[in-house]
Structure 1
Amino acid sequence: MITMNDIIRDGHPVLREVAQEVHLPACKEDKEILISLMQYVKNSQNPEIAAEYGLRGGIGLAAPQINVSKRMIAVHVTDEKGDLYSHALYNPKIISHSVEKSYLTSGEGCLSVDEAIEGFVPRYARITVKGYDIDHTEIKLRLKGLPAIVFQHEIDHLNGVMFYDHINHESPYDPIENAIAIDR
């Protein structure tokens, strides 16, 4: 089981690497990593398990965050209607996106970043993601709102990009043109 001790922190060089594609069919070790990423995210959202193991709550986790430079992510999040988006994917990529942007009014956080970093993080309002699930079945997801933001955040990790790289550091709370503000 992944714990907070397994999550590497901001400044670790792996967080700035472009992660390697996972060769499919995935080997046993890669399958176990993908399963453990999802297990962490789910466990971190369960108050009893999170308290017992000292887990910080998360809605997504990427393999580079546990010092594995491979293209794997797990997301477990509900949208504003309460629909659950729970996906563990190999080699996810954004294959299309809207021109329109969105951002979280509360800003973004990250399990690899211990301090709060203020500012709006512009993201695409709508994206289509393609990847492969644990059984190597190709999955295509059309996402908007919070799920779209979470998938972009996790896929950024696969490309060595941190959420705060997108913030306008001179004026972190400047309105983002043509963007949907999402309260969370």
Structure 2
Amino acid sequence: MLTMKDVVREGHPSLRKQAKEVAIPPTKEEIALLKSMQTFLSNSQDEELVEKYDLRPGVGLAAPQLGVEKRMIAVLLTDDKDRLYDYGLFNPKIVSHSVEKSYLPSGEGCLSVDREVPGIVPRYARITVKAINSDLEPVKLRLRGLPAIVFQHEIDHLNGVMFYDHINEDDPFAIPENAVEVDR
């Protein structure tokens, strides 16, 4: 079972590297790791398990956050319409995005960052992601709102980008032009 001890923190080299594509079909170990990442997110959202195993609640996890430089992410959240997004993905790629931006007014956090980083993180309001899911089927997801933000955050990890790299250094709370505020 993955715990917070498995999550690498700021400064770890895998967080700043370009992750490698996963060969399809993936190995048994890669499939097992992706399923463990999904289980970690599920466990991290269960109050009893959070307490028992000292977990931090999370809605997304990328393999580089475990020191594994492979293009794999897991996401678990519900949107504002109570739609569940429960995905383990190999080689996710943003294939299109809106011009319009969005942001979380409270900023973003990260399981690999043990400090608060205040500021607005501009994201695309809508994205389309293509990937291979944990059942080894191709998927195409059209995302908006919180799911779009979470997927962009996780895919950034695959490219060695941290959420705070997007914050305007001169004015951290500058709201991007024509941006939509997204509720958690």
| TM-score after normalising by structure 1 | 0.99
2:112 alignment partner AA: S
> Separation in 2 of the partners of 1:93 and 1:75?
14
2:105, 2:181 within 8 Å by CA — same for their partners in 1?
A: yes
The Cα of 1:82 is off from its aligned counterpart by 1.0
> Separation in 1 of the partners of 2:176 and 2:12?
30
- Matched with 2:73 is 73
Aligned 1:122-161 pairs, distance under 5 A: 122-161=122-161
- SS of the equivalent of 2:76 reads strand
Aligned 1:87-166 pairs, distance under 5 A: 87-166=87-166
Runs of 4+ displaced beyond 3 Å: none
1:125 alignment partner AA: A
Measured against aligned partners, the alpha-carbon deviations of 1:17-74 in whole angstroms (never above 9, x if no partner) come to: 0000000111011001100110101100010111111110000000000000000000
1:129 alignment partner AA: V
- Matched with 1:44 is 44
- Matched with 2:7 is 7
The Cα of 1:134 is off from its aligned counterpart by 1.3
- Matched with 2:57 is 57
2:14 is aligned with 1:30: no
1:144 alignment partner AA: R
2:158 alignment partner AA: L
- SS of the equivalent of 1:173 reads coil
| TM-score after normalising by structure 2 | 0.99
Q: Number of paired residues?
A: 184
The Cα of 1:183 is off from its aligned counterpart by 2.5
What runs of 5+ residues in structure 2 fail to find an aligned partner? Answer: none
- SS of the equivalent of 1:105 reads coil
2:22 alignment partner AA: V
Aligned 1:162-181 pairs, distance under 5 A: 162-181=162-181
% identity of equivalent residues: 61
Measured against aligned partners, the alpha-carbon deviations of 1:148-182 in whole angstroms (never above 9, x if no partner) come to: 00000000000000000000011101121010011
